Structure 1
Amino acid sequence: MEYYIVILVAYAIILLGMKFVFLEIEGRQARKMSNIRYFLKYDEKFGYRNQFSVIFVAILCYVIVSLETTFSTMWFLQLIGFVAVGVISDALSQVGSYYYGCFRFKKDIQESKILKIEIEEAIKNHGDELMQQTIPSYDSHQIIQQYFQEDKHLAVVSVDGGEFTSQFQELPPITYSVELNPSKAREKLEDKGIKVTTFTSQGKMPFKDEKIDIAVNELSNYDKFEMYRILKPGGYLVVDQLGSDNYKEIINMFIPFKIKGQWNKEACQTTLTDIGFDIVDSYEDIGRIRFTSLSAVLAFMKSISPERVERYEQFINFYADVLKKIKKNHFYEITTHKFMVIAKKSTNE
């Protein structure tokens, strides 16, 4: 019996100790990550949880340490006592850790409540707020248009329903727009004589071999081998893309364990030269967008990802982090990253 009592006391102490240790670790991590959802749970009414998992762990522990004959009367009695102590210890640890957390992180809890109120107010009242953006170092349309000629076949691959293509002042008579959403692009482009098409059912470009003189990829995924196939020898491929650092502050907050790539003009040039393209020219722009209010950030987020504003509760930690940085620095900044590579298909077959 003495052995049994020692085991019960040790089990209760370990359970209580681990609860407080993990509470301290979680609280400090939440503070570091601006995780206000963690602190806001202390503003809710306490409720006992996870009793079934505790019962399972208690049974498992008892089966491992018991010295009694399995399934004997004493074995069952001690098992019931072990489970009871486990549940009581867990309940006490949850109550104790809840009130300890309320005391230990009192300042963080109060700050989280204020931040939540301010975020909800900004959600209700945000509109077309102003933001400050650095001027891009190059103009895509002006550069690409230098390669247009009357007798050349042009294909523009994009995902914006023809918006990018429609902004050219002049286009070759034979111009194709390859769109994922061709119906939207037709409404915008067909009255301008532009032939709107889409990818084949196999995801290939809808052109015969060596059909196109100039292929432009605008902010879209592309198959470099397909681009090589459809271009005539001496034809040009223009890749106008977003780099891996674009909006990195936002991406890192929503996906904190994201594997970072290095997608930039150098990486793009390497992939193209490896299959037989010669690099003609390249450009890269790394800029900043600055916001002076959370309302401005919300207006921007609504333009690029409306669901993250409509379901803001899921992303409240991100907005709390933004708000804290605005209060500290009087602004919040994100990075913009864009590059362009112009390559020529080799004429040496």
Structure 2
Amino acid sequence: MTAAGYDELVAAAMAAPIEGWDFSWLSGRVEGSEPSWSYPEIAREHVATADRLLDVDTGGGELLASLQPLPRHTWATEGWPPNVAVARRRLEPLGVTVVPAPVRERLPLPDGSIDVMLNRHGSLDAHEVRRTLRPGGILLTQQVGSEDCADLNEALGAPPLRKSGSWTLRTASEALSAAGMRLTRTEEETPVLTFYDIGAVVYHLRLVAWQIPDFSPERYESALRRLHRRMCSEGRLDVHAHRFLIVAERSDEPVPARP
């Protein structure tokens, strides 16, 4: 593919709209990253038993809306202001209360107010989880680990997103256990994520803006053009996602105060 092809692909990726947590523009241009378990299926099982449900960092509410019917008492939090409006348009007609959460380390709900907490790729503070859940309440979380797409950062000469090994099944499990949560299911995988053109890479980095915080096509132009030539030659770019799953129950045993 020519240099003009690069320019066209990048321009299209930069012009494409971004709203909520919608990856549909990447359909057919990116494949993979899903682990062997199905988070939506596991979530649906827990939603069916919930009386008071919370979805943490709901994005545009896309996943939560797909889990209908929802409990009569359902809340969703979201920290990014543009997504709050998107989530409210989607979720409020379903009876969901959408609550802004500007402080990532604090859930804006009372102590012991939730019996099922969903958290897919959201901020996870173990003490806040325990504080917000009722005794016996359930946390279901799928997290993006610290090794996620590290090879994409490497390919573009960008610093790693996180220190290697800093956010894994082990580190999250230890934090939750220390906060008084009893783990009932744990899994961890590094599935392959495949990009088929440089425009897909650019759009992904716009949507997942924290992967390379200083990203722009201008700042990374030389590296992007090199990667474009490599992708034209090889037909794809494979990187590794990093996902882990935890289901945990709040015990009623006293735990040490937060340090």
- Alignment TM-score, normalising by the size of structure 2: 0.75
1:320 matched residue in structure 2? 225
Q: How far has the Cα of 1:328 moved from its partner?
A: 4.9
Structure 1 pair 301–115 and aligned structure 2 pair: CA distance change class (3 A): farther
Task: Answer yes or no: is 1:266 the counterpart of 2:153.
Answer: no
Task: Answer yes or no: is 1:215 the counterpart of 2:102.
Answer: no
Task: Answer yes or no: is 1:277 the counterpart of 2:176.
Answer: no
Unpaired runs of 5+ in structure 1? Answer: 1-113
Task: State, as a whole percentage, how many aligned pairs show the same letter.
Answer: 21
Deviates more, 1:329-338 or 1:116-125: 116-125
SS at match of 1:314: coil
Q: How far has the Cα of 1:193 moved from its partner?
A: 1.0
Write the deviation string for residues 251-277 of structure 1: whole angstroms up to 9, x where unpaired.
333523665232222221111111211
Code of the aligned partner of 1:187: R
Contact 1:158 1:164 in 2 (8 A): no
Code of the aligned partner of 2:124: Y
Code of the aligned partner of 2:67: F
From 68, 74, 77, the equivalent of 1:178 is 77
Write the deviation string for residues 235-262 of structure 1: whole angstroms up to 9, x where unpaired.
1112221111222122333523665232
Write the deviation string for residues 8-63 of structure 1: whole angstroms up to 9, x where unpaired.
xxxxxxxxxxxxxxxxxxxxxxxxxxxxxxxxxxxxxxxxxxxxxxxxxxxxxxxx
Structure 1 pair 150–256 and aligned structure 2 pair: CA distance change class (3 A): closer
How many Å separate the matches in 1 of 2:54 and 2:114?
7
SS at match of 1:138: coil
From 102, 108, 131, the equivalent of 1:229 is 131
- The alignment of Structure 1 onto Structure 2 pairs a total of residues equal to 234
Code of the aligned partner of 1:319: L
How many Å separate the matches in 1 of 2:163 and 2:8?
34
- Alignment TM-score, normalising by the size of structure 1: 0.58
Unpaired runs of 5+ in structure 2? Answer: 14-24, 255-259
Contact 1:115 1:320 in 2 (8 A): no
How many Å separate the matches in 2 of 1:293 and 1:280?
40
Name which structure has the greater RCO, CA cutoff 8 Å, separation 6+: 2
More strand by share: 2
Code of the aligned partner of 2:108: P
Structure 1 pair 193–304 and aligned structure 2 pair: CA distance change class (3 A): same
Write the deviation string for residues 146-166 of structure 1: whole angstroms up to 9, x where unpaired.
223456211111151322211
Structure 1 pair 339–296 and aligned structure 2 pair: CA distance change class (3 A): same
How many Å separate the matches in 1 of 2:235 and 2:124?
40
How many Å separate the matches in 2 of 1:213 and 1:269?
20
More helix by share: 1
How many Å separate the matches in 2 of 1:336 and 1:146?
25
1:338 matched residue in structure 2? 243
User: Computing the radius of gyration over CA atoms, which structure comes out larger, 1 or 2?
Assistant: 1
Q: How far has the Cα of 1:226 moved from its partner?
A: 1.5
Structure 1 pair 204–332 and aligned structure 2 pair: CA distance change class (3 A): closer
1:251 matched residue in structure 2? 153
RMSD: 3.2
